[in-house]
Amino acid sequence: MPDPLTIQNTRSSLVRSVTVATLIAALTCLLAQQASFADDQDGTLYEITAELHKPRLGETPSYNIAHERLCLTRWQLYEFFPILTHPALAMCHVGAKAEHGDKLNFPLECGSEHRTTGMIAWKMRGRATVGWLYARSAATTMKFSQKVVATPIEPCFLYANFL
Protein backbone atom coordinates (compact mmCIF):
# COMPACT_ATOMS: atom_id res chain seq x y z
CA MET A 1 0.00 0.00 0.00
CA PRO A 2 1.38 3.42 -0.98
CA ASP A 3 2.38 5.83 1.71
CA PRO A 4 -0.35 8.52 2.31
CA LEU A 5 2.32 11.25 2.44
CA THR A 6 3.62 10.20 -1.01
CA ILE A 7 0.08 10.25 -2.42
CA GLN A 8 -0.50 13.75 -0.96
CA ASN A 9 2.80 15.06 -2.39
CA THR A 10 2.04 13.55 -5.82
CA ARG A 11 -1.43 15.04 -5.80
CA SER A 12 -0.11 18.50 -4.78
CA SER A 13 2.55 18.30 -7.45
CA LEU A 14 -0.04 17.38 -10.08
CA VAL A 15 -2.36 20.24 -9.03
CA ARG A 16 0.55 22.72 -9.21
CA SER A 17 1.54 21.45 -12.66
CA VAL A 18 -2.01 21.75 -13.99
CA THR A 19 -2.40 25.21 -12.46
CA VAL A 20 0.88 26.45 -13.94
CA ALA A 21 0.01 24.98 -17.35
CA THR A 22 -3.42 26.63 -17.24
CA LEU A 23 -1.91 29.99 -16.28
CA ILE A 24 0.67 29.76 -19.07
CA ALA A 25 -2.04 28.91 -21.62
CA ALA A 26 -4.25 31.79 -20.41
CA LEU A 27 -1.34 34.23 -20.49
CA THR A 28 -0.37 33.11 -24.00
CA CYS A 29 -3.94 33.64 -25.24
CA LEU A 30 -4.12 37.06 -23.57
CA LEU A 31 -0.82 38.18 -25.10
CA ALA A 32 -1.84 36.94 -28.56
CA GLN A 33 -5.17 38.79 -28.30
CA GLN A 34 -3.40 41.95 -27.09
CA ALA A 35 -0.91 41.76 -29.98
CA SER A 36 -3.78 41.36 -32.46
CA PHE A 37 -5.67 44.30 -30.90
CA ALA A 38 -2.55 46.48 -30.92
CA ASP A 39 -1.92 45.60 -34.57
CA ASP A 40 -5.43 46.81 -35.46
CA GLN A 41 -4.96 50.01 -33.42
CA ASP A 42 -1.49 50.96 -34.69
CA GLY A 43 -1.43 53.68 -37.29
CA THR A 44 0.45 53.56 -40.56
CA LEU A 45 1.06 56.49 -42.84
CA TYR A 46 -0.12 55.48 -46.31
CA GLU A 47 0.37 57.06 -49.71
CA ILE A 48 -3.13 56.59 -51.14
CA THR A 49 -4.31 56.84 -54.72
CA ALA A 50 -8.06 56.60 -55.25
CA GLU A 51 -9.38 56.15 -58.79
CA LEU A 52 -13.08 56.86 -58.99
CA HIS A 53 -15.55 55.99 -61.71
CA LYS A 54 -18.73 57.88 -60.90
CA PRO A 55 -21.75 57.81 -63.17
CA ARG A 56 -23.67 60.90 -64.10
CA LEU A 57 -27.21 60.62 -65.31
CA GLY A 58 -27.52 61.54 -68.98
CA GLU A 59 -23.83 62.42 -69.27
CA THR A 60 -20.52 60.72 -69.85
CA PRO A 61 -19.24 59.01 -66.70
CA SER A 62 -16.67 61.02 -64.78
CA TYR A 63 -13.30 59.73 -63.64
CA ASN A 64 -11.36 61.22 -60.81
CA ILE A 65 -7.94 60.38 -59.39
CA ALA A 66 -6.99 61.66 -55.96
CA HIS A 67 -3.68 61.34 -54.09
CA GLU A 68 -3.24 61.87 -50.38
CA ARG A 69 -1.24 60.76 -47.36
CA LEU A 70 -3.24 59.52 -44.40
CA CYS A 71 -2.47 57.92 -41.05
CA LEU A 72 -4.91 54.99 -40.74
CA THR A 73 -5.35 51.74 -38.87
CA ARG A 74 -5.76 48.63 -40.98
CA TRP A 75 -9.56 48.66 -40.41
CA GLN A 76 -9.79 52.36 -41.35
CA LEU A 77 -7.91 51.55 -44.55
CA TYR A 78 -10.28 48.69 -45.36
CA GLU A 79 -13.26 51.06 -45.22
CA PHE A 80 -11.51 53.99 -46.94
CA PHE A 81 -13.45 54.58 -50.15
CA PRO A 82 -14.35 58.23 -50.88
CA ILE A 83 -17.24 57.07 -53.10
CA LEU A 84 -19.09 56.01 -49.94
CA THR A 85 -19.89 59.71 -49.42
CA HIS A 86 -21.98 59.77 -52.63
CA PRO A 87 -25.70 60.25 -51.78
CA ALA A 88 -26.64 56.95 -53.45
CA LEU A 89 -24.25 55.11 -51.10
CA ALA A 90 -24.83 57.23 -47.99
CA MET A 91 -26.70 54.45 -46.18
CA CYS A 92 -23.98 51.88 -46.93
CA HIS A 93 -21.21 50.61 -44.70
CA VAL A 94 -18.54 47.92 -44.82
CA GLY A 95 -19.69 44.53 -43.50
CA ALA A 96 -17.78 41.69 -41.84
CA LYS A 97 -14.65 40.46 -43.59
CA ALA A 98 -14.29 37.07 -45.21
CA GLU A 99 -10.85 35.77 -46.17
CA HIS A 100 -10.46 33.94 -49.47
CA GLY A 101 -6.84 32.92 -49.93
CA ASP A 102 -4.78 36.10 -50.19
CA LYS A 103 -7.87 38.25 -50.72
CA LEU A 104 -10.13 39.92 -48.15
CA ASN A 105 -13.76 40.41 -49.14
CA PHE A 106 -16.28 42.64 -47.42
CA PRO A 107 -19.95 42.94 -48.31
CA LEU A 108 -21.28 46.43 -48.82
CA GLU A 109 -24.28 46.57 -46.50
CA CYS A 110 -26.86 49.20 -47.44
CA GLY A 111 -30.27 50.25 -46.19
CA SER A 112 -33.04 48.19 -47.75
CA GLU A 113 -34.85 51.26 -49.09
CA HIS A 114 -31.89 52.02 -51.39
CA ARG A 115 -31.81 48.51 -52.87
CA THR A 116 -28.08 48.98 -53.37
CA THR A 117 -25.77 45.99 -53.44
CA GLY A 118 -22.02 45.79 -53.58
CA MET A 119 -18.78 44.35 -52.37
CA ILE A 120 -15.25 45.37 -51.48
CA ALA A 121 -12.16 43.27 -52.13
CA TRP A 122 -8.61 43.91 -50.87
CA LYS A 123 -5.44 42.19 -52.02
CA MET A 124 -1.72 42.62 -51.37
CA ARG A 125 0.41 43.55 -54.38
CA GLY A 126 4.03 43.74 -53.31
CA ARG A 127 4.17 46.34 -50.54
CA ALA A 128 0.92 47.99 -51.62
CA THR A 129 -2.59 47.01 -50.60
CA VAL A 130 -5.12 47.36 -53.41
CA GLY A 131 -8.86 47.60 -52.83
CA TRP A 132 -11.80 47.59 -55.20
CA LEU A 133 -15.34 48.69 -54.41
CA TYR A 134 -18.19 47.72 -56.72
CA ALA A 135 -21.76 48.85 -56.09
CA ARG A 136 -25.00 48.91 -58.03
CA SER A 137 -28.16 50.77 -57.18
CA ALA A 138 -31.21 48.81 -58.29
CA ALA A 139 -33.42 51.88 -57.82
CA THR A 140 -31.48 54.03 -60.29
CA THR A 141 -29.48 51.34 -62.15
CA MET A 142 -26.33 53.36 -61.41
CA LYS A 143 -23.03 51.49 -61.12
CA PHE A 144 -20.18 52.69 -58.96
CA SER A 145 -16.61 51.51 -58.83
CA GLN A 146 -13.51 52.73 -57.12
CA LYS A 147 -9.97 51.43 -56.84
CA VAL A 148 -7.75 52.39 -53.90
CA VAL A 149 -4.01 51.71 -53.82
CA ALA A 150 -2.39 52.21 -50.41
CA THR A 151 1.39 52.00 -50.03
CA PRO A 152 2.68 52.06 -46.45
CA ILE A 153 5.32 54.70 -45.72
CA GLU A 154 5.99 54.51 -41.97
CA PRO A 155 4.29 54.01 -38.60
CA CYS A 156 2.42 57.08 -37.37
CA PHE A 157 0.54 58.39 -34.36
CA LEU A 158 -3.17 58.25 -35.17
CA TYR A 159 -4.21 61.25 -33.11
CA ALA A 160 -1.40 63.66 -34.04
CA ASN A 161 -3.87 65.85 -35.96
CA PHE A 162 -5.84 66.47 -32.76
CA LEU A 163 -2.89 67.69 -30.64
pLDDT over 70 (residue 146): yes
Long-range contacts: 106-113, Cβ < 8 Å, 24+? Answer: 106/78, 106/79, 108/133, 108/135, 110/135
pTM: 0.67
Domain boundaries 43-162, corresponding CATH code: 2.40.128
Mean pLDDT of 127-139: 90
pLDDT digits (tens, 9 = 90+) for 77-119: 999 998 888 887 888 889 999 998 889 999 999 877 767 889 9
Q: Where are the domains of the chain?
A: 1-41, 43-162
What does the DSSP assignment read for 48-82? EEEEEEE--TTSPPEEEEEEEEEEE-HHHHHT--G
